[in-house]
Structure 1
């Protein structure tokens, strides 16, 4: 019965995609119209400014500072041990779970290392100047403690099933952790988080990714967006149909390839302009602590840096805890250690590389007489050739060194979008099955919905839908952070126990 449903549903899903771009675009426009009329208040609430700063950014950054202090700068103390765990030094293949520490990290990274590293950083420096880079790095370092907290809880309170599969994430530790401590509203918060997670997965983790990938391919090669959308729909379906193990097998290959390839290309440009590196670093510090002519001055640089880090590494959102919960381990704290590497790689390394390339290739226009940035009519920093901020600005920066860079950037955008989609399909799936129950039927329904919206996103401009999905994604962080504040004593207990047993030799490398 299950097999018949699977085949029929798969065929139905592909038929929806094959209905053509016009049908999908028509549906997209109807959806966008509905969302614009009914959800604008929610979007405005989540992204509202308080004293000139988006309150949701302050919410995430303050939480990161709290966790950093509470766990005694765990991102520094546990960094070396985290690397050992990823290498497999302490891994027992007989432990419960579905994927290795490395696969869990790669899967979570594939959801964060994405278009934000290419487009988002470009937007940040085009508004906040080079100084935004400093605050972005600082926020990334602080966010490591948040990832540690949420991913430890994700493993501790996950569900383990007889067939070897597991389900975990904020919805599970909110419900079970609150019940364990005798706190109310855990179940309600878990469902609320799940609703926001599904909406965020379909929008920011899906339609936005396919839209940007299809648009970039069209701009470089002229291939129609619906063709790219259809190809992505089919490939993503093939990957996610196999569950987390299939996703992990793909991400452990794709993420190192795309991440290392992107960083190496950036490093090559930096080496070619080695004489500019100290100048660029000076610009970053100058812009971080002085008024370099940008709108908002130092405060503007701080806001853009913190905002980009929050949008990029998703520390506090709770999404990564879903992927990390699938790890093979009997010690929840070990995956907390592994997860703190995620913001370091995503923000401190990849985002910083993008910013340095843009700065060193001098894409931002500076007045030679005053040393201040030149602003355009939109209030952003003027760029060489009036390049739009986002992917075009990053592409122009890489293209200034290599004529073939726009093609490489196109490949990077597609790979980043693809990896983000398959990871967010898993996040959305786990939130979906939490609400509607585990089972092949429930899983297939969500996977088909997810794949259909890949195609819809590729051919439509869904402004209101994407705004709402971004707001839903950060609303996940509101619910999740509240839960982390109440549950962080449990993490500290796990941490103290593990460190004690590690120091006495009770926990040792697996032979």
Structure 2
């Protein structure tokens, strides 16, 4: 998720906007809303008794581990085939669906790549030390199997309409899949998932994004009313989402590669300039993973932070990506499962790892320049900070130590991340909305207008508890989704076995384009 994971109400308030914006009406809304939703938020993010490990993170990581084992580590066995699918080697333009494999992947990635890759990694390394990176990578690799499972089901049980449009996602595979297996409660779980999805899309997938975009712009050009940013963003977002998934996919297939090149390219420049420290930094990652390098909590602290950041970054198991992948053109549901497993690899293993290495190396350079000490100080309290910076500010300072103009580039990245997350989550919320209230142009237009109104509200207000609640709703999606995936995973296994046999026998062949 995007990119926008909130870790606590206090953290949300710190990240969302200047203190001045939290006065008056905002403060009253915050107080009233927190009173009503606080118990739900606290439950979702509550730690396991006797530990500091959030139970929702264990819920996600345990599922990813089980799926990896059950499917024989499909993320490694079919990695090469997934690349060929994205390239279009097996694509038949006559298959039902609305977008290509690459467009579906780009749309889903645009919903997950974002602030979690910038701020979340800084928080993980800052609290858990360099070793958090190792556990973050491991959780990302395991999460590939969760994405594979849910996205295969998304295509298998999607609705295909006469006009060529499709609707899919957990709402559909939970209700249809449970019916096929003769299990009770499918409709109730599907409705519950849809409600959580709508709430998450309007908050974390919308208001938080426009709020952070305004904050970054204001930092560059000076403070000004947030509603101006909100209106501009709302107009651009509406222009894209009004055309449906095809329009969204056409935009994301261009933005996502550009975002990746822009951000990862900057990280590579810093790593190349400081190439002599790369081996040392990797050594710190492995050493810290099993010793904690003196940070609070030691190895356990590094593990908790790494797993938490991975789970909050790539959304494997949340079920959101299955909505985007369901629109793909294919007659083989399993193929989109293969494509989707690339998401956690790109989001967490590549982009988050690049961020972590830059922070580790940059902080080391700063420590050497200021005090001659190495990464961990004598008290062993954790990685150094720059002027007390954390989150986005820490990442910006880390990049800025080697590239003076990086804060400006970061502002562009945050704006693009925010915009791409909004248009993807608008589609997620729309499909949950139409599942509850029915398909139709009027129904869809109503939700799109509501979504754009919330873009303006998000940019103009400081609503920490509202965003906390929406983030909790997103992870509540994972509670419902994963609970349903366990009985449904045998249907995915049947699809996998059938496809594997036909691929091996030569029955399934690449198309000549």
Q: Shorter-chain TM-score: what band?
A: over 0.9
Report 1:357-436 matches (<5 A).
Answer: 357-362=358-363, 372-373=376-377, 381-387=383-389, 389-436=390-437
Shift of 1:27: 6.9
- Residues in 2 aligned to 1:360 and 1:370: alpha-carbon distance in whole angstroms: 10
Shift of 1:37: 1.3
Report 1:243-262 matches (<5 A).
Answer: 243-262=244-263
Give the match's secondary structure for 1:83. Answer: helix
- Residues in 1 aligned to 2:483 and 2:353: alpha-carbon distance in whole angstroms: 30
- Residues in 2 aligned to 1:369 and 1:404: alpha-carbon distance in whole angstroms: 27
Shift of 1:24: 12
Contact kept in structure 2, 1:294 and 1:375, CA below 8 Å: no
- Residues in 1 aligned to 2:374 and 2:405: alpha-carbon distance in whole angstroms: 35
- Residues in 2 aligned to 1:348 and 1:150: alpha-carbon distance in whole angstroms: 20
1:78 maps to 78
- Residues in 1 aligned to 2:502 and 2:54: alpha-carbon distance in whole angstroms: 42
1:35 maps to 33
Shift of 1:226: 2.9
CA deviation string 1:435-469 (max 9, x = no partner): 01011111111111111111111121111101111
Indicate whether 1:157 and 2:161 are aligned: no
Report 1:324-335 matches (<5 A).
Answer: 324-335=325-336
When the two structures are aligned, how many residues end up with a matched partner? 487
Q: CA-atom RMSD, angstroms?
A: 2.0
Contact kept in structure 1, 2:376 and 2:383, CA below 8 Å: no
TM-score normalised according to structure 1 size: 0.92
Give the match's secondary structure for 1:385. Answer: coil
Indicate whether 1:315 and 2:316 are aligned: yes
Q: 1:176 to 1:146 in 2, by over 3 A?
A: same
2:11 maps to none
Shift of 1:192: 0.2
- Residues in 2 aligned to 1:259 and 1:501: alpha-carbon distance in whole angstroms: 35
Give the match's secondary structure for 2:89. Answer: coil
Indicate whether 1:53 and 2:47 are aligned: no
2:444 maps to 443
1:44 maps to 42
Indicate whether 1:178 and 2:178 are aligned: yes
Indicate whether 1:481 and 2:479 are aligned: no
Give the match's secondary structure for 2:123. Answer: helix
Report 1:230-269 matches (<5 A).
Answer: 230-269=231-270
Shift of 1:110: 0.1
Contact kept in structure 2, 1:210 and 1:455, CA below 8 Å: yes
1:19 maps to none
Contact kept in structure 1, 2:21 and 2:461, CA below 8 Å: no
2:470 maps to 469
Indicate whether 1:345 and 2:346 are aligned: yes
- Residues in 2 aligned to 1:167 and 1:118: alpha-carbon distance in whole angstroms: 32
Shift of 1:411: 0.1
1:296 maps to 297
| Structure 2 spans left out of the alignment, 5+ residues | 1-19
Q: 1:276 to 1:77 in 2, by over 3 A?
A: same
TM-score normalised according to structure 2 size: 0.92
1:205 maps to 205
Contact kept in structure 2, 1:209 and 1:421, CA below 8 Å: yes
| Deviating more after overlay: 365-374 vs 346-355 | 365-374
Contact kept in structure 2, 1:214 and 1:226, CA below 8 Å: no
2:89 maps to 89
Shift of 1:219: 1.0
Give the match's secondary structure for 1:48. Answer: coil
2:98 maps to 98
- Residues in 1 aligned to 2:504 and 2:216: alpha-carbon distance in whole angstroms: 52
2:14 maps to none
Shift of 1:227: 2.5
- Residues in 2 aligned to 1:52 and 1:120: alpha-carbon distance in whole angstroms: 17
- Residues in 1 aligned to 2:196 and 2:67: alpha-carbon distance in whole angstroms: 24
Q: 1:208 to 1:197 in 2, by over 3 A?
A: same
CA deviation string 1:169-196 (max 9, x = no partner): 0000000000000000000000000000
CA deviation string 1:354-411 (max 9, x = no partner): 11111111168698679634789xx875402222x11111111111111211110000
Shift of 1:31: 4.4
2:10 maps to none
Contact kept in structure 2, 1:137 and 1:352, CA below 8 Å: yes
1:131 maps to 131
1:62 maps to 62
- Residues in 2 aligned to 1:459 and 1:373: alpha-carbon distance in whole angstroms: 41
Give the match's secondary structure for 1:94. Answer: coil
Q: 1:374 to 1:341 in 2, by over 3 A?
A: farther
Give the match's secondary structure for 1:384. Answer: coil
Shift of 1:144: 0.2
| Deviating more after overlay: 188-197 vs 202-211 | 202-211
Contact kept in structure 2, 1:132 and 1:305, CA below 8 Å: yes
Q: 1:371 to 1:311 in 2, by over 3 A?
A: closer
Contact kept in structure 1, 2:172 and 2:190, CA below 8 Å: yes
Q: 1:173 to 1:354 in 2, by over 3 A?
A: same
